[in-house]
Structure 1
């Protein structure tokens, strides 16, 4: 795709793109800040502890410290996504970090015991994790939107 085509697509989708990024930023900031509370630290512990790539961290860090690091990471990514409106290189790398974060979060559906259950004959899960499907698509849009500028 050439630069002129990218600019045309960007102009056509700029409002939706900005709203999508704003939604991700708002959610990352809000949840990131909440990670500094004992309530959220305890809530994410089973998710992180049962993940094969993350559970080991509790071996040398407290539940709150792990939550703080995750929260700080989410806040930094949110700030990077905002900065990406002014600096495409920061936007590109923030999009990649956001994508990796949301893939990791979505993977909790497969790694956390008792995440899936049948309620009244309907298969259900921790639906808050499903938001990451949409957030993955916004992250990909951020990456695509900023990549031609590198």
Structure 2
């Protein structure tokens, strides 16, 4: 009995790859769709504003702290600033990109080369996301008179970002699987 359970578990890797692929698709479709909503666009501002690779998308990246909205909060003055800052334009563009790469990854069986490209883009984007741990001060617990602040104490934003290490590994797996499928098919 114990051996049969171990044999079953030992052969779950293909199921695991399928779950990882479709997990990536669901996450990127969902998060990509949310990028069209104000609260989600507001939430990524500290990451984008502090990134040396992305801050140029905003008109006034250094001024963001005065216009932060809490999740679900809509302050008209802050909203107007975010419109002028291109917060919502950038977020919508990011949403289109995320939905596009999700669709590419989902096309694994139909178009493995396109799926591999989608996985490569996710891998590269995830490296960029992980860089937020270095570039975004809000990724760490601030010094508020407690001795537990700064590195290694991740804030809510930092905990959100560090999970992308798993997506990074998943993207490697899905890109490899798609490349293998592409190479196994006869080409004219």
> Once the 2 structures are TM-superposed, how far is the Cα of residue 12 of structure 1 from its aligned partner?
6.5
1:129 is the counterpart of 2:161: yes
Q: Deviations over 1:40-59 (max 9, x none)?
A: 11111111011001001113
Q: 2:46, 2:138 within 8 Å by CA — same for their partners in 1?
A: no
The whole-number CA distance in structure 1 between the counterparts of 2:172 and 2:137 is: 29
Aligned length, in residue pairs: 140
> Once the 2 structures are TM-superposed, how far is the Cα of residue 14 of structure 1 from its aligned partner?
2.1
After TM superposition, the structure 1 = structure 2 runs for residues 1-150 of structure 1, keeping only pairs within 5 Å, are 13-59=13-59, 62-117=86-141, 121=148, 123-125=153-155, 126-148=158-180, 149-150=182-183
Range 113-122 or range 84-93, more displaced: 113-122
Q: Deviations over 1:42-87 (max 9, x none)?
A: 1111110110010011139611000001111100000111012322
1:6 is matched with none
Q: 1:77, 1:98 within 8 Å by CA — same for their partners in 2?
A: yes
1:3 is matched with none
CA RMSD of aligned residues (A): 2.1
Q: 2:105, 2:114 within 8 Å by CA — same for their partners in 1?
A: yes
Q: Which runs of 5+ in 2 are unaligned?
A: 1-10, 60-83, 184-188
Give me the TM-score of the superposition, normalised by structure 1: 0.84
> Once the 2 structures are TM-superposed, how far is the Cα of residue 29 of structure 1 from its aligned partner?
0.9
Task: Give the number of the structure whose alpha-carbon radius of gyration is greater.
Answer: 2
> Once the 2 structures are TM-superposed, how far is the Cα of residue 25 of structure 1 from its aligned partner?
1.0
Q: Which runs of 5+ in 1 are unaligned?
A: 1-10
Whose helix fraction is larger, Structure 1's or Structure 2's? 1
Structure number with greater CO (CA < 8 Å, separation at least 6) is 1
The whole-number CA distance in structure 1 between the counterparts of 2:168 and 2:92 is: 23
> Once the 2 structures are TM-superposed, how far is the Cα of residue 120 of structure 1 from its aligned partner?
7.1
The whole-number CA distance in structure 1 between the counterparts of 2:147 and 2:19 is: 36
The whole-number CA distance in structure 1 between the counterparts of 2:100 and 2:85 is: 21
Give me the TM-score of the superposition, normalised by structure 2: 0.68
